[in-house]
Structure 1
Amino acid sequence: MKIKIMGTIVQNNFLDKFFPNGKTSVYGIIGNPISHSVSPYMQTQAFLKLKINAIYVPFEVQRGDISQVINSLKTLNIKGINVTVPYKEVILPYLDEIDQDALNIGSVNTIKIENKIARGFNTDAPGFILALKEENISVKNKNVIILGAGGTAKALAYILLKEKAKSIFLVNRTLEKAKKLEDSLKKYGNIKSYPLKNEILKDLIKQSDILINTTSIGLKKDDPPLFNYNFLKENKNLVVVDVIYFLTPLLKKAQEFSLKTIDG
C-alpha cells in the first residue's frame, strides 16, 4: 500500500522498516526564532524520497542555553545540525574542530557530529557562489552591497573577495559592528563599511552590480523596510539577492523594476 507523507508518496512497507525506529538518524537546525524555517520540511522530504532512514527537526534554542547545545547533541546521538541566526558565530567556542574556511569566516552553519567529535563547517559561502553561477552571474570585478554584518554577511563577504569581487560595500545599522567585520576581512580584498542610511544606499546602488540582504528583515510581514526600496530603480542592471527563502518585500520591489532577483 502507498501513502503520502509531506507530499511524498512512499510504500507502507518502507515506513514499517525505516521510519522512524531505533536506527533512525536525527538531524536538525538550531536558531531563534526557528518556526519560519522550511529546512525541516525540505530535508525530511528529501530523506523520504531517497529512502534514507533519517528525520530533520527544528530546535529553538534560547540564547542563555547555547553553551549546552553541543554536549546535548552528543548525548542524544544527533548526527548533525545546521545553525542559523543568531548562533553562527557564538557557537564556535563550543566546537571540537572547525574547518579552515569557517575559521577564516568566523562562523559556521553546519555541524557534523561523529564519534562524539563536533566539527563545524560553513557552507553558506560556497553555496552562495554556486547559486550565482547557476544564474550565470560572475562576481569577478563587481561591486557588491551587503546589508548586515552578522555571520552570513561575513561568510558571503569572505567568499566574494576570494572570488575577486572588485569592492564590497558593507552596510549595517550599527556602524561599529560593520567596521569590526571590515577589519577582519580587509586582508582578502577591498571592503568598506557604511551606516544604514537612505542617502548612502541611494549612492551605493548607483555604483553597484549586486545587492545582497543578509539580515532577517523580511521574515515577518510587518518588518519595516531596510531603506527606501524605490532607490532600486536607480540601477537597471542591479541584481538583488535576499538570503531569505521566499519573495520578500525587497525582492518584490526589485521585480517591479524588472531587476533580476535571487532568493535564499
Structure 2
Amino acid sequence: MNSQTQLIGLIGHPVSHSKSPEMHNGMFAKLDLNYVYLAFDVPPSHLKEAIEGMKALKIKGFNVTIPHKVEVMKYLDQVSEEAKQIGAVNTIVNDEGRLIGYNTDGIGYLRSLIEETGVQLKGKRVLILGAGGAARAIGYTIANSPIGQLTIINRDQNKAHILRKSLEQYTKTDVLSIEQMEKGVKEADIIVNTTSIGMAPNIDQSLIKKEWIQPNHLVSDIIYNPLETKLIQEARSQGAQVHSGLGMFIYQGVIAFEKWTGITPDPSYMRLKVIESIKEKGRNTC
C-alpha cells in the first residue's frame, strides 16, 4: 500500500450539510484504501486561490458544489465535452498536475432513475422544476434520451429560457410560468424537482399541490435530506410512482469515486453510510 495518504476534497459554500465525507470515507475504509475525503468551505472570493492551493498540494481530486460549479470551470486545464455542454462541473481529477473537470450529476441521476423505477423514457413528457446547475445536468442528460418533450418551470423566467435554448437542439423543449404549474403537472408523465424546496430544515414545503398528482405520474425529487420530502410522501399517497434523491447522490458519487481511484465502489454500501449519517444527525438534534 502507498504510505502517503491521498486527499480528496469537497469545495462549496456552505458544505457542512454534505454527506459526501461519510459516503466516501466509509467506502475508502471498507476497501482499505489510503484515502481521506474532507470538506472545505470556500467562499466565492477565494475560489481561485483554493484551486491553486489544491493543485500545489497535489490533491488527487475533489467534488464541487454550489455556488462554484460554473465559476470553477475557468480555473481548470481541461473540461469534458459533457460538462461543457451542461455548463457546470461537479467532479475534478488531478491528473499529474492537470485539473480535468467532469459532470457526474446528470448520468448519476439517469442511472438511478432507470435502475430504481424501471421507467421507459421513450416518448415521455418530462417536467423539470428549476433551472439551476442540477436542472442543467439532468435536463441535458434527459434531453439526450428518447423522451417526447421537456418542459421547464422556474421562478426566474430568464434562466428557464436560457436553459430551454441550450436543450432544444436535443428534444422538443418549452417553458411555463410558475402560474402554469398545475397545467405543467397535469400534462407531464415524469415530474422532476431540482430545486431546494422541501430540503431540511424546511421539510414542510412543496412546489406542487397534492391534488394535482395522479397515479400515472412518476414523481422524482433530487433532495436526499430528508430521505423522503413532502413532495415524495404526497405523491406516494396519491398512488404515483416515486423516486427520491438519494440514488442520484449515490451514483454521482460512484462515478466520481471511479474517476479518482480507478476502482468501482459498492453503491449499496455508500447508500448505507449516507442513511446512517442522516439518521444519526436526526437523533442528535432531537
1:176 to 141, 146, 158: 158
Instruction: Please say if residues 70 and 118 of structure 1, whose CA atoms lie closer than 8 Å, have aligned partners that are also in contact.
Output: no
Q: Is the 8 A contact 2:204 2:230 kept in 1?
A: no
Q: Where does structure 2 lack aligned partners over 5 or more consecutive residues?
A: 246-286
Question: What TM-score, normalized to structure 1?
Answer: 0.86
The SS at the match of 1:187 is coil
Alignment of 1:71-90 (within 5 A): 71-90=52-71
Partner of 1:99: 80
Runs of 4+ in 1 over 6 A off after TM superposition: none
Q: Does the aligned pair in 2 maintain the 1:146–1:214 contact within 8 Å?
A: yes
Would the alpha carbon gap of residues 184 and 177 (structure 1) be closer, same or farther in structure 2, given more than 3 Å must change? same
From 49, 55, 63, the counterpart of 2:30: 49
1:205 CA drift (Å): 1.2
Relative distance call for 1:256 and 1:239 in structure 2 (3 A) is same
State TM-score, norm by structure 2.
Answer: 0.79
Amino acid at match of 1:256: S
1:238 match: 217
Cα distance in 1 for partners of 2:208, 2:108 equals 29
Q: Which structure exhibits the higher relative contact order, with contacts defined as CA atoms closer than 8 Å and separated by 6 or more residues? A: 2
Aligned equivalent of 1:219, options 191, 196, 199: 199
Given residue 213 of structure 1, which amino acid in structure 2 is its aligned partner? N
1: CA distance between counterparts of 2:241 and 2:197?
A: 20
Residues 121-144 of structure 1 show CA distances to partners (whole Å, capped at 9, x for unaligned) of 111122122112212112221111
Count of aligned pairs between the two proteins:
242
Range that drifts further, 168-177 or 212-221: 212-221
Q: What is the CA–CA distance in structure 1 between the aligned matches of 2:211 and 2:57, rounded to whole Å?
A: 50
Identity of aligned residues (%): 35
- Give the partner amino acid of 1:105: I
Instruction: Measure, in 1, the Cα distance between the counterparts of 2:211 and 2:67.
Output: 29
Maintained 8 Å contact 1:202/1:231: no
Residue 193 (structure 1) aligns with: 175
Structure 2 partner of 1:164: 146
CA–CA distance in 1 between the matches of 2:29 and 2:233?
33
Match of 1:257 among 238, 242, 250: 238
Q: Name 1:209's counterpart in structure 2.
A: 189
RMSD (Å), alpha carbons: 1.8
Of 80-89 and 39-48, more deviation after overlay is shown by 80-89
Q: Report the Cα offset of residue 76 of structure 1.
A: 2.2
The residue correspondences of 1:31-46 to structure 2 (distance < 5 A) are 31-46=12-27
Give the structure with the higher percent helix: 2
Higher strand share: 1
- Structure 1 distance, partners of 2:4, 2:14, is 29
Larger radius of gyration: 1
Q: Tell me the residue number matched to 1:229.
A: 209
